[in-house]
């Protein structure tokens, strides 16, 4: 009798009931969860809080820090403690480098780290406030921290299929896959991991150290904006705890929570009221990624197949293993899946996600600018202290039209969102340095590749807009307002923005009036209604590099679908 062979890659993206029950076989999800039963209310008197105990000792606080302006050099985020850095085990001696860090090749699944401005095309630029300048306002856009995979993503599908295969005769694993005999699936779904909570808490602390001086200019409580998903609320709260301190954060700010659900307008989740962002056009990146995955994982499928019997490996299965490496590491601190791949295969994994972002959420998708333009409208309103009165995109008239939930007088604006939204904002604001490499091929990694998702939208990515007062020139004491943007500490060139292009600057500065005029040009040029709801098609590859639909001329000279 032939042993049953299970083709994991052919399984639907769903979680089987057997997987839900748990099992002693490989891939099961039988786990214990914290917390236990709560403390008996009758015992509460034994645990008085700090205010009841007293004896706090000296409590005077110090002045607000502003290290972004006072230190001569910028601090750099490079570590991912307490996660264990994965090691590359496959490859010849010449192919394996002790300095290679797979974490830097997980794209949007990478923990964030400081990006050198040279990678954005501004070598020598520093996130520190330039000499002679004073920071007057900050616009923060913050991605949530590291999370568990979404329900039905490849990791849980892999566990389901492996659990079923392990219960059949003929299943065996050996060599580097021997760990699968005892491997169980321990990941939740979509919530922040403990490391993800730490990321946002640490970022709150660092933001206070960098920009704390601006708190002196608040006339009312800061308003934090986030969406209703649990990981989004938890990210905002964890950041606030780090920023304000555990004793004060619950009473030091207001939290505006926008509903993240279909048919609700929100610039923080802009796809929910944009039909074309959820249909075939959204799948463009996955079409390109699937094509590339079959190329770069071809050798890995053959190499790993010799170590597993009773399961036929496919590109989808091996790709799920790479996903598991990333998700297990940021959730559990370590993953046995990480050592299964070569350096080139990790570079291929990164490029696979770059393709997804480019064609589904970035410059190569015709709906991207439309999704980001609502935030551009909000940004202009904040920079000009002018209320929004025309609601013709994904701005929310109930919240954005209220000066309580959408104040215009804050020295710091705090917005919490998703990776794809940061990619959309960067596209909508025409940060052309990321798209400089042009359309991405699905057949190879191009030389001079500039669209790196690990630089744009990793876990806990942060995009910071600084408004600065600087001398008009080296020979003048007159102060002029400037705008510049940092993405994960890297200064972003603004030369793709109309009016800013006339003022190239080594520090990434653009006169504020010019920047606002450039944003207003982008708003005026955006046809949100058509881009989000129009009837048109686009394929892969395409020549889109600005996130907008461009009709192609027909033979008769009229515009038509491309």
The token duo for 478 is: 């007159």
What b/e readout covers 490-500, taking b as 16+ CB neighbours within 10 angstroms?
bbbbbbbbbbb
- Cβ neighbours of residue 422 under 8 Å, at least 6 residues apart? 141, 143, 456, 457, 461, 463, 487
Structure tokens at 299: 């050798």
Q: CB 320: neighbour CB atoms within 10 A? A: 24
CA distances in angstroms from 350 to 103, 296, 446, 475, listed in the order given: 10, 11, 13, 47
Residue carrying structure tokens 């490996």: 313
pLDDT for the residue numbered 97: 67
C-alpha distances (whole Å) from 541 to each of 2, 165, 360, 381, 430 are: 44, 37, 12, 36, 21
142 closest CA partner among 19, 18, 226 = 226
pLDDT at 30: 65
Task: Write the pLDDT tens digit of every residue in 173-213.
Answer: 999 999 999 999 999 999 999 999 999 999 999 999 999 99
Domain total for the chain? 1
pTM of the predicted model as reported, rounded to 2 decimal places: 0.92
Whether 38 is in a domain gets the answer no
Cα separation of 104 and 260, whole Å?
30
Asked if residue 212 is part of any domain, the answer here is yes
In a domain, 207, yes or no: yes
Q: Do the Cβ atoms of 546 and 430 come closer than 8 Å? A: yes
Task: Give SS3 for 111.
Answer: strand
* CA geometry: angle 195, 201, 204, nearest 5 deg: 145
Structural domain including 495 reads 78-88+102-131+138-419+431-549
- Count of other CB atoms within 10 angstroms of residue 134: 13
Q: Is residue 9 part of a domain?
A: no
Which pLDDT score is estimated for 31? 66
Q: What 3-state class would DSSP assign to 103?
A: helix
Query: 361 in a domain, yes or no?
Result: yes
**DSSP one-letter code for 339:** G
Task: With a cut of 70, list the residues of the chain below it in pLDDT.
Answer: 1-25, 30-32, 91-97, 552-562
**Per the domain annotation, does 116 fall within a domain?**
yes
Share of residues in the chain with pLDDT > 70 (%) = 92
* Angle in degrees, CA 507, 510, 514, rounded to 5: 175
Residue 48 domain flag: no
Q: Answer whether residue 66 is part of any domain.
A: no
pLDDT at residue 356, rounded to an integer = 98
Q: What is the CATH number of the domain that holds 122?
A: 3.40.50.1240
């Amino acid at each position: 009798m032939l042993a049953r062979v299970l083709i994991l890659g052919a399984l639907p993206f769903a979680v089987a009931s057997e997987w839900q029950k748990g099992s002693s076989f490989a891939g099961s999800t039988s786990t214990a969860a914290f917390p236990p039963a709560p403390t008996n209310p009758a015992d509460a008197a034994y645990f008085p809080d700090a205010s009841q105990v007293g004896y706090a000792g000296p409590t005077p606080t110090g002045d607000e820090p502003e290290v972004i302006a006072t230190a001569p050099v910028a601090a750099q985020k490079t570590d991912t403690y307490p996660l264990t850095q994965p090691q590359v085990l496959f490859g010849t001696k010449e192919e394996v480098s002790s300095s290679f860090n797979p974490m830097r090749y997980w794209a949007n699944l990478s923990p964030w780290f400081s990006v050198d401005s040279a990678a954005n095309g501004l070598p020598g630029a520093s996130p520190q406030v330039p000499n002679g300048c004073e920071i007057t306002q900050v616009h923060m856009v913050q991605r949530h921290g590291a999370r568990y995979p979404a329900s039905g993503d490849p990791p849980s599908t892999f566990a389901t299929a492996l659990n079923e295969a392990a219960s059949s005769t003929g299943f065996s694993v050996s060599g580097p896959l021997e760990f699968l005999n005892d491997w169980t699936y321990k990941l939740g779904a979509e919530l922040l991991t403990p490391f993800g909570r730490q990321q946002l808490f640490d970022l709150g602390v660092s933001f206070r150290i960098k920009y704390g001086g601006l708190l002196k200019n608040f006339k009312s409580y800061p308003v934090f904006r986030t969406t209703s998903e649990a990981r989004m609320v938890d990210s905002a709260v964890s950041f606030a705890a780090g920023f304000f301190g555990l004793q004060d954060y619950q009473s030091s700010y207001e939290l505006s929570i926008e509903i993240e659900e279909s048919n609700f307008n929100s610039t923080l989740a802009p796809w929910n009221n944009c039909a074309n962002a959820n249909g075939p056009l959204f799948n463009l990146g996955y079409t390109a990624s699937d094509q590339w995955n079959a190329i770069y994982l071809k050798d890995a499928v053959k190499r790993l197949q010799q170590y597993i019997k009773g399961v036929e490996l496919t590109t989808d299965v091996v790709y799920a293993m790479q996903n598991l490496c990333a998700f297990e590491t940021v959730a559990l601190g370590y993953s046995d899946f990480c050592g299964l791949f070569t350096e080139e295969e990790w570079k291929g994994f990164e490029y696979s996600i770059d393709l997804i972002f480019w064609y589904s959420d970035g410059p190569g998708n015709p709906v991207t600018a439309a999704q980001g333009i609502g935030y551009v409208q909000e940004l202009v309103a904040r920079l000009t202290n002018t209320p929004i009165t025309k609601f013709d995109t994904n701005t929310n008239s109930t919240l954005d039209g209220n000066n309580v939930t959408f104040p215009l007088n804050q020295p710091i604006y705090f917005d919490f969102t998703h990776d794809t939204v940061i990619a959309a904002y960067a596209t909508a604001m025409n940060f052309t340095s990321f798209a400089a490499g042009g359309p991405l091929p699905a057949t190879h990694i191009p030389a001079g590749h500039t669209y790196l998702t690990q630089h744009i939208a990793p876990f806990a990515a942060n995009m910071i807009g600084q408004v600065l007062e600087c001398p008009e020139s080296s020979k003048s004491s007159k102060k002029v307002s400037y705008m510049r943007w940092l993405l994960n500490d890297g200064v972003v060139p603004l030369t793709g923005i109309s009016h800013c292009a006339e003022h190239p600057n080594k520090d990434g500065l653009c006169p504020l009036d010019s920047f606002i005029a450039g944003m207003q040009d982008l708003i005026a040029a955006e046809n949100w209604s058509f881009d989000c709801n129009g009837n048109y098609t686009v394929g892969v590859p395409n020549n889109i590099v600005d996130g907008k639909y461009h009709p192609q001329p027909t033979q008769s000279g009229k515009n038509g679908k491309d």
